[in-house]
Structures are given as structure tokens and as C-alpha cells.
Structure 1
Amino acid sequence: MASVGFSVEGQVATVTIDRPEAMNAIDAETGEALRDCLKRIETESAIRVAVLTGAGDKAFSAGADLKKSPPPSESYAATAFGSGDESFIASLAIEKPIICAINGYALGGGLELALACDIRLAAEHARFGLPEVKVGTIPGAGGTQRLPRMIGASDAMLMLLTGDMIDAAEALRLGLISRVVPAADLLGEAQRLAARIAANAPLSVRAIKRLVTSGRMLPLDEAIRLERLVWGLLRDTEDRQEGRLAFREKRAPNYVGR
């Protein structure tokens, strides 16, 4: 049975980590399948937005599957200076928006995967944690870097240094997630939100994601200059003209990504 489900409805792709018997932990096969899904989302023009979730109602993902993680076959130096050692989660770079529907535990690499997404919705029973410090390691797929940027250094350090879990209400208070949704409505809410985003001008959506992502690393004046440059690039697109025309004609716009 495939460890990752993939479906497309309209302009929205839904990716489901499908190992509920292992709390949707990510083994080598699952990681490779997720890479393939992300590549497909990025390259297929008909897909404009993606939803990422886990199968079942217990876990989004418990992170790396330690039971199926073999010892490395080569030295770290050989990996780092050879084929590279960077996790696909740490380096996840896709310009189309990804909405994460967190349907239970999001722990370790599972939370790091959620952090790499753009919008996070969570079921009321969801729990979040980066427990790596409790087993003698660190979050190595972006956790120590994305979490402080998202919720602030003090709250991030509290989670990282204790390894303790927080519930959905606390995650909402910290700004780790955008909404708490009843579990039965979670996937539908995420897909409806994705469809609303997909109905917008695709070049504008991708430009906004790139600006937000890049701008966080830049001084404000440089980020604003980049914003003006991107605004100029979009000024003469067909979609911008279509949007203004549709507004005047009081109809839904027909965006084509040009």
C-alpha cells in the first residue's frame, strides 16, 4: 500500500501521509513519496494550491520512523561534502502555497514539516512538540530556525529546551497555527480555504509567497524595494488586466497565470 496518498480536485492537490498504524511516521519510502508529490505540485500548472494532512484521527505525523531508520552507510563528512545531507523538509522550497491540516500529533519531524508549510489549521485534539532534546539530539530539519521566527525566541526556547508538548489552544495563542477546527471539519475547511486561494491570480499568489519568505531575511528597506520590483513585474500581466476588468463587470475573474 502506498505510504502517501495524492489526489487533485479542481486546482487543489491533497497529499495524505498514509501510515496511521505508525502514527504517520516518515520512513525512507514515505519521504521519497512526499518529495515526488511536492515535485508534481510544483511542476503541474493545473495545480495552484496544496493541502497536506495525515491519515486517521490520531496523528498528522510523529516525525521520523526510528524503527525503520537504518544506521548511515557512510560518514557524515562523505555525506555533507558529497551528495548532501540536507533534509527535504529543511530545504522545502515550493512557490505554490501549502496548507497543513494537522489532524493529531505533530511531533519532531512532523512538526518541522508543518512549520515548512504556509498556513496551518489544526483539529482541537492536536498536540505539538519537538522532543529531540529528550533523546540526545536536536530538531535537524528546520525546527530550531523556523520555530523562533514564527512564535518568538522565548516561547520557542521553552518548547525546544524542554521538549514538552503544547495543545491546540496554546499553539493558536502563540501563532503557531491560524485556526482550530473541529476534527470532522478539518480537511474540508483546509480544502475550501485552498480553493479560495486557488481562485486568485496564480502569479500574484506565488509572488506574495516569495516576498514573504524572502523578506523575512532582509532589512525592511531592502524588502520594500523588492516588493516594488515584484509589483512592477506583475503590473502588465494579463491577469492584472483581467482582474480589473472582472471587477468593473461585476463577474468572477478568469485567471490564466500570464
Structure 2
Amino acid sequence: MLRSRTKLIELGKRQLCRSMCKSSELTLVEVDDKTGIATLTMNKPPVNSCNLEFLRALKSAMKEIESNKCSGIILTSSNDKVFSSGLDLNELRQPNPERLATFWKELQEMWVTLYLSNVPTAAAINGHALAVGCVMAAACEYRVMLPDFTIGIHATKFGYVVPPFIVNTYLSVLPHPVVERALLQGKIFSTQEALQINLIDEVVNSKDEALCKCADFIGSFEQTNPVARALTKRQLRAPFAKQLLEDPETELRESLEYINTPLFQESLDQYLLQLKKKNKK
């Protein structure tokens, strides 16, 4: 804790970021020169599915934004219909063991980077946010969503056991009974349903409005001390991240073991076949 506090104090002494951050082919980062707010746009066609390279790019962009001491992060999508479709299931189907291990570690590290970010985070959800797409949105402090889209974690529908850190992401924003039913059913919520259960904070009519709402949220912390704010956020969120932070190897091992079971591989094959048939209609 002392080491984290010292690091944050040093970060607090740096000048606010006021320039364009570097972008990759998979992510676009723009920083408002007046507010210092960074907009991180997911840009992996066609649906921002999270493969190894995309997870790595997201984590790298988030860390760069923090190191430049920007005043906040707005996460959004370049696709006007899909925020993120979740994990690239091809990474899980008959996986190469070495790549799968690296992929899952990147997923863990991306989540920790976003969930425990030192700066305010907000999601402008301008499309469907499924599985890890929902997880990323829920990991942010504030969520604004456009109407007529869906959000949720449907892992049980393709045979996957939801890992503890993803369960904890839901538990950090939703009551336990709601989380239990949603995860066991693989429930996907409409925008209005998500608002009713407080999975999202507001509904807006356009992406521009969503970005403005997110910027207003981040701006609401302008009068707070950034170091004190970040340390308080870590204290509040630490219980939900504790298991993964203290023993990532156990979660990694258990996840890899389950992914490689015939039970999961058969369920995944059936699910992908159903998707293929559905897309042909």
C-alpha cells in the first residue's frame, strides 16, 4: 500500500497530458487539449472481439494514458453497432497451450489495469456490449448507453464457467441476487433493462451525447485531489480484485484446465455451429 501511495504521489506531481497519445491499428487514443481527458476507441473490425493482440493493445493504451497523467479515460467503439462482442472464441477453440496461457494472462492484466485505474473511467457504450465487452464497461466507474442495444455476460450459454474476477466485476455494481440470476441464466439485458438494474447509469440518444456525459462525469472530480481520489478508489475496489492480485496463477491454471476439457470444447463447438447457422439466415 505504501509503495502504491508513493507511486501515485509521484504521478500527481507530473504535468497533465495535453497532447495526442500514440494510437495502434487496434486502438485510437485522442486527448482533449483543454480537459486532458483521453478517449480510448476500440478499433478492431468487425466487432471488437478480444484476441491476444487486441487485449495487449488495450492494456498498453490504458497504461500509456495513465503514464501521461491524463485526467480520465472514456472507453468507446469505432463501430456504431457493437461496443465489443467479447472474447474471440477462436482463441479458446482447440487452443495452442502457450498462446492460450499468454492470452489469458493478458485478459487478467487488462482487467486489472482498467478496474484499478488511477484516473476516472467512463464507458460510452455505443453498441452491443457482450461478455468481456460488458465486463470492460462494468469495470469503468460510469456507464452511458445508447438505446436499442444489449449488454450482458452469456458465458454459461457456450459452456464456460465464469471466472471469479468477472463475477466480482458484476458484484461491484449489482446486488448479489441479480448477479446470481444473470450469470446462471447467461442473461443479456436491453438498454432499458440495464438502466433499471443500475448496470448502466444513463441512456442517451447519440454517441456524441454519450461522450459529453462521460466527460462531464470525469470533470466532476476536477476539485478533488487526484492522489487521494485514486487511493480511495483502490481501497473501495480492492476486495473485488484481491483474489486475482494475490494469486493470479491459480485463476490462470483453473481457467486453462477447464478450457481444455472435452466438456467445454464440445459445448463451444455446438455454440459456434449455432452462430454459423444463425448468421446464414
Show structure 2 runs of 5+ residues with no match. Answer: 1-23, 243-281
1:66 maps to a residue whose letter is L
Show structure 1 runs of 5+ residues with no match. Answer: 219-258
**Structure 1 residue 97 and structure 2 residue 120: aligned?**
yes
Measure, in 1, the Cα distance between the counterparts of 2:235 and 2:164.
Answer: 22
**Deviations 1:59-90, CA, capped at 9 Å, x for gaps:** 111111224667133498xx59xx95762244
Deviation at 1:33, TM superposition (A): 0.9
1:68/1:214 CA distance change after superposition, 3 Å: closer
1:91 maps to a residue whose letter is V
Deviation at 1:217, TM superposition (A): 8.8
Moved over 4 A (4+): 83-86, 215-218
CA contact (8 A) 1:97 1:118 kept: yes
- Give the match for residue 23 of structure 1: 47
Matches within 5 A, 1:186-197: 186-197=210-221
**Structure 1 residue 134 and structure 2 residue 162: aligned?**
no
- Give the match for residue 9 of structure 1: 32
1:191/1:119 CA distance change after superposition, 3 Å: same
Could you say what the CA RMSD is over the residues aligned between the two structures, in angstroms? 2.8
CA contact (8 A) 2:56 2:106 kept: no
Matches within 5 A, 1:16-95: 16-19=41-44, 21-45=45-69, 47-67=70-90, 71-74=95-98, 79=101, 87-92=108-113, 93-95=116-118
Does 179-188 or 67-76 show the bigger shift? 67-76
Alignment partner of 2:75: what SS? strand
Alignment partner of 2:60: what SS? helix
Alignment partner of 1:176: what SS? coil
Measure, in 1, the Cα distance between the counterparts of 2:29 and 2:174.
Answer: 31
**Higher percent of residues as helix:** 2
**Structure 1 residue 157 and structure 2 residue 142: aligned?**
no
CA contact (8 A) 1:121 1:181 kept: yes
Alignment partner of 1:142: what SS? helix
CA contact (8 A) 1:49 1:197 kept: no
1:27 maps to a residue whose letter is N
Measure, in 1, the Cα distance between the counterparts of 2:164 and 2:80.
Answer: 25
CA contact (8 A) 2:165 2:241 kept: no
2:117 maps to a residue whose letter is I
Does 132-141 or 6-15 show the bigger shift? 132-141
Deviation at 1:200, TM superposition (A): 4.2
How many residues are paired up? 212
Measure, in 1, the Cα distance between the counterparts of 2:107 and 2:26.
Answer: 22
Q: State the TM-score, normalizing by the size of structure 2.
A: 0.66
1:94 maps to a residue whose letter is S
**Deviations 1:223-253, CA, capped at 9 Å, x for gaps:** xxxxxxxxxxxxxxxxxxxxxxxxxxxxxxx
Does 105-114 or 137-146 show the bigger shift? 137-146
Larger radius of gyration between Structure 1 and Structure 2: 1
Deviation at 1:216, TM superposition (A): 7.3
